[in-house]
């Protein structure tokens, strides 16, 4: 089991999000995985670290953002594969037996659903995509034997359905090799990295 915690706070404005970011990094030493604008006009804070530290920073962010908090999740013992995927690791090389896609309408609940899928079923996380180009939605892709993938989909869908955040799921047996590069393709038309003035 992972000894690392994961937390997400979604705020209704950039200004409020930046203020909450300042509060959380001042409270405890955590690793900020993402702090950025997401559609539709919200600011997402995603961070990980030791359980006590993340809990402290999570409380500080919620306190600073106040009524501006739109969504939140705290996973005290997040699955290691979820943390790895959020740090950019993808696991979908070679021939895959079956893939499952779970899509949620909000980021926080989708991360909770992914964590549950990985803990309840013997699958591997191919990767996940959060917010960019998705209108505030998120999705993740798991792979393994078909019955395990279906169990993972069911577990994740149950979490999302309970909170009325499920958008859609798909189970794809024996995916064609040409599908694999498209599973987790970056969003098209991504804005260029801004240049710094010298």
Q: Do residues 85 and 168 both lie within one domain? A: yes
Residue closest to 6 by CA, chosen among 35, 30, 39: 30
pLDDT digits (tens), the chain, 198 positions: 567 999 999 999 999 999 999 999 999 999 999 898 887 788 999 999 999 999 999 999 999 999 999 999 999 999 999 999 888 887 777 778 999 999 999 889 999 999 999 999 999 999 888 756 566 788 999 999 999 999 999 999 999 999 999 999 999 999 987 787 787 776 544 444 555 554
Task: Indicate the number of domains in the chain.
Answer: 2
Please compute Rg for the chain using Cα positions.
Answer: 17
Would residue 194 count as lying in a domain? no
Contact 7, 73 (CB under 8 A): yes
Segments forming the whole domain that contains residue 139: 80-182
Q: Do residues 176 and 117 both lie within one domain? A: yes
Residue 107's alpha-carbon distances to 11, 43, 91, 174, 181, in angstroms, are 12, 11, 21, 28, 23
The span from the CA of 36 to the CA of 13, in Å, is 11
Mutual orientation of helices 146-162 and 107-120 as an angle, nearest 10°? 140
Would residue 187 count as lying in a domain? no
Q: Do residues 149 and 117 both lie within one domain? A: yes
Q: Do residues 86 and 176 both lie within one domain? A: yes
């Amino acid at each position: 089991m992972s000894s690392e915690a994961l937390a997400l706070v979604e705020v209704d404005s950039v200004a409020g999000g930046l203020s909450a970011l300042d509060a959380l990094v001042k409270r405890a030493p955590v690793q900020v995985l993402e702090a950025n604008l997401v559609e539709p006009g919200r600011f997402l804070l995603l961070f990980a670290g030791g359980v006590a530290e993340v809990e402290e920073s999570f409380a500080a962010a919620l306190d600073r953002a106040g009524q501006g908090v739109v969504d939140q999740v705290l996973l005290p013992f997040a699955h290691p594969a979820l943390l790895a995927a959020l740090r950019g690791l993808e696991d979908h090389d070679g021939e895959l037996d079956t893939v499952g896609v779970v899509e949620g309408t909000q980021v926080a609940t989708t991360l909770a659903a992914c964590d549950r899928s990985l803990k309840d079923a013997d699958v591997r996380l191919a990767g996940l995509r959060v917010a960019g180009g998705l209108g505030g939605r998120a999705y993740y892709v798991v792979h393994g034997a078909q019955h395990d993938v279906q169990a993972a989909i069911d577990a994740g869908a149950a979490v999302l359905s309970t909170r009325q955040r499920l958008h859609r799921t798909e189970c794809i047996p024996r995916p064609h090799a040409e599908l694999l590069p498209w599973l987790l393709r970056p969003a098209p038309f991504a804005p260029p990295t801004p240049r710094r003035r010298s």
